[in-house]
Chains A and B, each alone.
Chain A
Amino acid sequence: MEAAVAIAIGILFGSGIWLILRPRTFQVITGLLLMSYAVNLFIFVMGRLWIDKAPLTLAPGTPDPADYADPLSQALVLTAIVIGFATTALYLVMMIGARGLSGTDHVDGEESDE
Chain B
Amino acid sequence: MSGLPWHQHLILLPVVLPLLVGALLIPVNESRHRIKYAVNLGSTLALLACALALFCLTDGGHWPGGIGVYLAANWSAPFGIALMADRLAALMLLLTAVLALAVLIFSMERWSRIGVHFHSLFQFLLMGLNGAFLTNDLFNLFVFFEVMLAASYGLVLHGYNVTRIRAGMQYITVNLVASFLFLIGVALIYATTGTLNMSDLGARVAGLDDAALTLLKIGAGVLALAFLTKGAMWPLGFWLPTTYAAASPPVAAMLVLMTKVGAYAVLRIWLLAFSGEAGGGAGFGFAALTWGGLVTLAFGTVGMLASQEPGRMAGYGAIISSGTLLAVIGYGQLSLVTAGLFYLLGSTLAMAAFMLLIELIERIRTPGAAMLALTMEAFAIDEKPEEPVGVGIPAALAFLGLAFAGCALVITGLPPLSGFIAKFGLFHALLNPENGAVGATAWALMALVILSGLSGIIALMRFGVRTFWASGAVLPPRLQISEVAPVSLLLLICVGLTVQAGPVMSYLGRVSDDLHQPARYAERVLGEPTVPAAAGGDR
Contacts and interface: CB of A to CB of B under 8 A. Distances in A.
Given A42-B187, A98-B166, A109-B165, A87 B146 contact: yes
A61 to B, nearest CB: 19
B165 A102 contact: yes
Nearest to B189: A46
B177 A87 contact: no
B153 interface: yes
A35 B176 CA distance: 10
For the residues of A in contact with B, the DSSP-based class is helix
Nearest to B175: A87
Interface in B478-512: none
Contacts of A32: 173, 176-177
A102 B187 contact: no
Contact of A73 (B146, B150, B172, B187): B187
A80 interface: yes
Interface stretch (B178-186, B319-327, B364-372, B377-385): B178-186
A97 B160 contact: yes
A94 B168 contact: yes
B190 A73 contact: yes
Interface string B115-149: 00000000000000000000000010001001001
Nearest to B166: A109
A78 B153 CA distance: 23
Interface range for B:
20 to 34
Interface residues of A, number: 33
A84 B143 CA distance: 11
Nearest to B181: A39
A28 B184 CA distance: 20
B4 interface: no
A46 B191 contact: yes
Contacts of A48: 191
A102 B166 contact: yes
A79 B140 CA distance: 10
Contact of B173 (A39, A42, A80, A91): A91
Given A20-B173, A36-B180, A42-B184, A94 B165 contact: yes
B68 to A, nearest CB: 26
Nearest to B168: A94
Interface string A17-41: 0001000010010001001100100
B315 to A, nearest CB: 18
A86 B153 CA distance: 12
A56 interface: no
Given A76-B139, A87-B179, A97-B160, A46 B187 contact: yes
Contact of B165 (A36, A79, A87, A101): A101
A90 interface: yes
Given A28-B173, A35-B177, A83-B146, A90 B153 contact: yes
Interface in A44-88: 46-48, 72-73, 76, 79-80, 83-84, 86-88
B465 interface: no
B445 interface: no
A94 B157 CA distance: 9
Contact of A94 (B169, B180, B191): B169
A17 to B, nearest CB: 9
A91 B172 contact: yes
Contacts of B360: none
8 contacts: A39-B184, A39-B187, A43-B184, A76-B139, A83-B179, A87-B153, A102-B162, A107-B170
Given A46-B188, A88-B176, 17 more contacts: A32-B176, A35-B180, A39-B184, A39-B187, A42-B184, A42-B187, A48-B191, A73-B190, A76-B187, A76-B190, A86-B150, A87-B172, A90-B150, A90-B172, A94-B168, A107-B170, A109-B166
Interface of A: 20, 25, 28, 32, 35-36, 39, 42-43, 46-48, 72-73, 76, 79-80, 83-84, 86-88, 90-91, 94-95, 97-98, 101-102, 107-109
